[in-house]
Amino acid sequence: MSTDLSETVRCMTEGLQFHFDVDGDNFTSAGQASVQVKKNLRQLGIPPETIRRVSIAMYEGEINMVIHAGGGTADVYVNESSIVIVLDDTGPGIPNIEQAMQEGFSTAPDTIRSLGFGAGMGLPNMKRYTDEMQIESTVGVGTKITMKVNL
């Protein structure tokens, strides 16, 4: 998690990039970007298991952005060796990343739980399904999550 992925992201700009604006006002539309990425990766002939890992990790991140940060941006970079997902928001930030990474820890309101999310599995899942994950977060400024899945 402490791995610096900024160099990787710089290299990735030479490959394919998909950019999405994630609408923070509409829980119903959350996940649209992940569905699109899944389609794009299928067209590129990426192995199904890799596609599943990428799309689940991105979907969890997208849901998190909608629940906690009022939306943000999602960028996916694809090259020959890996897929990198960068999720950027200007939400409230994560005060204690270590605590947030614990399975079951959640600050989601009951309204979100009643929709089937907010069980404190989002960030742990994102880590579980990716090979590398880095969280940069400043309270009151926002959060940037970079995840890498090797091909």
Partner 1 sequence: MKISQIKELLDAQVVCGEENLSKHVYSACGSDMMSDVLAYVKDQAVLLTGLVNAQVVRTAEMMDMICIVFVRSKQPTKEMIELAKEQGLVLLTTKKRMYEACGKLYVNGLVGNGEMHD
Q: Which is nearer to partner 1, 128 or 144 (CB)?
A: 128
Distance of CA 20 to the CA centre of its chain: 12
**Considering the complex, what minimum distance in angstroms separates the CB of residue 103 from partner 1?**
8
Question: Which of 16/119 has CB closer to partner 1?
Answer: 119
Q: Give Cβ neighbours of residue 142 (< 8 Å, ≥ 6 apart).
A: 69, 72, 88, 89, 90, 91, 93
Q: Residue 28 Cβ, how far from partner 1 at the closest point, in Å?
A: 5
In the complex, the smallest distance separating the C-beta of residue 24 from partner 1, rounded to whole angstroms, is 15
Main-chain dihedrals φ then ψ at residue 76, nearest 5 degrees: -120, 125
Residues forming the site for partner 1 (CB under 8 A):
27-31, 34-35, 38, 48, 52, 55-56, 59-60, 63, 103, 115-122, 124-125, 128
As measured in angstroms, the least distance from the Cβ of 121 to partner 1 is: 4
Closer residue to partner 1 in complex, CB, 9/101: 101
Query: Would you say 16 or 121 has its CB closer to partner 1?
Result: 121
Separation of alpha carbons 142 and 150, rounded Å: 27
Could you tell me whether strands 16-23 and 142-150 are parallel, antiparallel, or unpaired per DSSP bridges?
A: unpaired
Please report where in the chains the tokens 């399975």 appear, as a residue.
Answer: 103
What gap in Å lies between CA 110 and CA 113, rounded to an integer? 5
